[in-house]
Structure 1
Amino acid sequence: MYSDLDLDLRPGDGVGNFVLGASLWTVIEFLRSNTALFPQVELKYDPDASATPIIIHVRPHIDLLFSPAHQRLHTIALRNFHDHPPLTLRYKDKVLASPDSDLKRVDVNLAFGPTYPGDDLIYPGVRFFFSDDVSKAPNNRQDRTQNVKRILVSQSDADPNVSPRDPLGEVQVCAAMDDELAEAVARVHDGVTLRFYPDVKQIVRVRLGVTTAQDLLCDLGPPLRTFYKEDDRMSIHSRTRSADEEGVEPSYFYNYLHHGLDFLIADGTHVVKKIIMHTNVPGSPLFQRYKRCPWQIEGSPEDDEDDSPPRVRFHDRVDVISRFLSPGGAPPSMNFDRTVGEDTLTLPTPITRLLGFDGVILEATQAAQVVSVTLF
């Protein structure tokens, strides 16, 4: 059973509930909760790159392009206006297209007014194309009755006569990003410094062994999920592990899924013991459980006057980050299969690698993409 679509077009801002600048995580959560409206969804990406443009085909009418690094909604394309289910498109409460009426060149002119000459109609934040292939010019651009074949909505440019925004570029800071994580700078054996939109000058510091659960609640608000740690399989590799496991302090997680962060907190002292930053790599076992955290790991400055110490970032490959953390050579890695015990989850490459360094654990895919960083 399909539901009719009734969408409003907002040049430079979005279409319907799809807002430019929204995160991939937020958009997929919306699609999952509205399967009656959007029953056919397909996701495409480059499996060999952690910073890859991602396209979501919401069939048959909507294509969503997300920026490669920060996974933000960059461009919205509308097409196949008469395919089932029926689509009604509005602009400022006026119907542009419906199952009973085509959207023609003359209709666009009447609704949006004059624009620069050219094969297609270009306005700030929206473009109307009259060919199925946007790279081809229409046969007769003077025909007022030409049907619109495709609409592209993107952030507005100062000059509406320039080329469309680079699909490999990033989205400009906008209201859709407010209160979301802009940057997470980690320092080994110390913690992480967080900056949020829109005021990135204000910081929140979370320090290992210092910051408490109450501090997190005050600075970050309540987590989306809290649960007690039950998986102690890694304790077998601990050098301080006792034979009877006595003295192991109970702990619990604060899961800030919407920031791509986990905090492991000691149950007795309620102090942060570990910080986990997630990259939301498509195709990995943890994809879409967490929003992408734009993490960086900062090294030591060369001297007291060095105000730009070296850093590695979430889109760097694991070998680059390994050399940064351990110039003398990477440690042996362990295989980890997160799909064990989850019969409903099948992935082409479910195995990730764990690499342990002094104060840091990297989890990486077989394609050398870092899935998560754990500070302890």
Structure 2
Amino acid sequence: MFSTLELDLRPGSGLGMFEIGASLWNVLDLLRGLQHLFPQVDVKYDPDSSTSPILLHLRPHLDLLFSGYHQRLSTISVKKLRDPNPPLTLTYKNSVLSSSEDALKRVGVSRMFGPTYPGDDLRYPGVSFSFDEDPRGESLKSPVTQPDDRQQEVKRIIISEKNPDGVPKDVLDEVTECSAMTGELYRAVAKVHEGITMYFYPTTSEPIQVMIGASTAQDLTVDLGPPLRVHYKEDDRMTIHARGSQPEADADSDYFYNYQQHGIDFLISGSTHVVKKIILHSNVPGTPLFQRYKRCPWEIEGRPEDDEDESPPRKKFYERVEEIQHFLAPGEAPPSMILNRTDDEDGLRLPSSTTRLFGYDGVVLEATESGQVVAVMLF
């Protein structure tokens, strides 16, 4: 016997525990603790693009669509309103809108929401009600039902950002700034050999700088709060590639501050407690590190053309590794090394388990075979 799933509808804002503008990382983390309500979550995406929209299908009622670039919840679709597995009850302003026993009909929507815009669907700012089960079947559906069919049953509800004129936003659009983003990172500008400048929502906030060789663990805690995890460095396999013949004396005591909520790791010296390296994660679906970190919207900044250049060239997280390579060092690309992050995970098979490492002076790019950059390391 299934327990009833009760969700409150908030036009333009969200549904139940899901907020428009929430990050993919936050929502999937939330769902891990709600397996009794959502035992199966299907993640759908385009494996050839790191910026394609991502769809979470929570059977049988919910589809959550996330924007391609910043992985923000942009659209919530509710369907199979009367499917009893589990029973679904929707409320609006503390009144029952729909349940498995009581079908939601055109007349009920009109009574609760008032007049609507012209069209087949009932459209309001931030929410629409459709009488078609499958939006892809628009051309195959029967002739349009006349608006006076007051008993026509609602088959699908769409919640999205509010648009004052009632015209639905393009589902592929990015989500505009909203309260769900407050305190989260919206841009990280990286300068090779220097560090990063972090910009947060609201966009009027003062940026925070983290400098390699200067910022300390205490600085990070003061500016960013305590990390979600502190991980002591145990994997020293990369030291074989170091330029010096002798490993650093304090390497065995180095540790990471992991800020998964910002998509960033900081490697800190075990002796001086100063930042030595910075790792920025792109959260690309289908790769081993997917969902371990939120997407960091990083940009690598190049040198300005002159002292008066206020907009120096930059390469961003969604650009192909070939373009970034040419930006960092025009000419022939350096030899790459192959990394398989699933070597220690028996039986794990992923579409993009193997990546390549491209090293430059002060920066390493980790990219999939299809050219998507999954991580950038500054040192």
Letter in 2 for 1:142: D
2:345 corresponding residue in structure 1: 342
Give CA-to-partner distance per residue, 1:180-233, whole Å, 9 cap, x none.
001100000000000110144411000000000000000000000001100010
SS at match of 2:261: helix
SS at match of 1:352: strand
**CA positional deviation for 1:330:** 1.4
**CA positional deviation for 1:328:** 2.0
2:185 corresponding residue in structure 1: 181
Give CA-to-partner distance per residue, 1:59-108, whole Å, 9 cap, x none.
10000000000000000000001111100000001001111100000000
Letter in 2 for 1:152: I
TM-score (ref. length: structure 1): 0.96
Instruction: Name which of 365, 368, 372 aligns with 1:365.
Output: 368
Cα distance in 2 for partners of 1:371, 1:2 equals: 40
Letter in 2 for 1:168: L
1:25 aligns with 2:28: no
Instruction: Name which of 248, 271, 282 aligns with 1:279.
Output: 282
**CA positional deviation for 1:152:** 0.5
1:155 aligns with 2:164: no
2:73 corresponding residue in structure 1: 73
Letter in 1 for 2:127: V
CA contact (8 A) 2:250 2:269 kept: no
1:109 corresponding residue in structure 2: 110
CA contact (8 A) 2:287 2:351 kept: no
CA contact (8 A) 1:2 1:37 kept: no
Give matches, 1:1-376, under 5 Å. 2-83=2-83, 84-134=85-135, 135=138, 138-160=144-166, 162=167, 164-242=168-246, 245=247, 247-249=249-251, 250-343=253-346, 345-376=348-379
CA contact (8 A) 1:53 1:167 kept: no
CA contact (8 A) 2:250 2:271 kept: no
CA contact (8 A) 1:105 1:148 kept: yes
**CA positional deviation for 1:246:** 6.7
Cα distance in 2 for partners of 1:187, 1:232 equals: 25
CA contact (8 A) 2:2 2:87 kept: no
Letter in 1 for 2:324: I
Gap change, CA 1:188 and 1:74, over 3 Å in 2? same
CA contact (8 A) 2:105 2:152 kept: yes
Give CA-to-partner distance per residue, 1:285-344, whole Å, 9 cap, x none.
100000000000000000011100000000001101111111122111000011111125
TM-score (ref. length: structure 2): 0.96
TM-align CA RMSD? 1.3
Cα distance in 2 for partners of 1:362, 1:127 equals: 44
CA contact (8 A) 1:193 1:203 kept: yes
Cα distance in 2 for partners of 1:118, 1:58 equals: 29
**CA positional deviation for 1:118:** 2.1
Gap change, CA 1:333 and 1:200, over 3 Å in 2? farther
CA contact (8 A) 1:13 1:154 kept: yes
Cα distance in 1 for partners of 2:336, 2:94 equals: 58
Give CA-to-partner distance per residue, 1:157-186, whole Å, 9 cap, x none.
0211x2x21122100100000000011000
CA contact (8 A) 1:130 1:138 kept: no
SS at match of 1:234: helix
Q: Which runs of 5+ in 2 are unaligned?
A: none
SS at match of 1:222: coil
Give CA-to-partner distance per residue, 1:100-151, whole Å, 9 cap, x none.
1000000000110112232111100000001123335743432000000111
SS at match of 1:267: coil
Cα distance in 1 for partners of 2:345, 2:221 equals: 32
SS at match of 2:111: helix
SS at match of 1:156: coil
- Percent of pairs identical after alignment? 60
Count the aligned residue pairs.
372
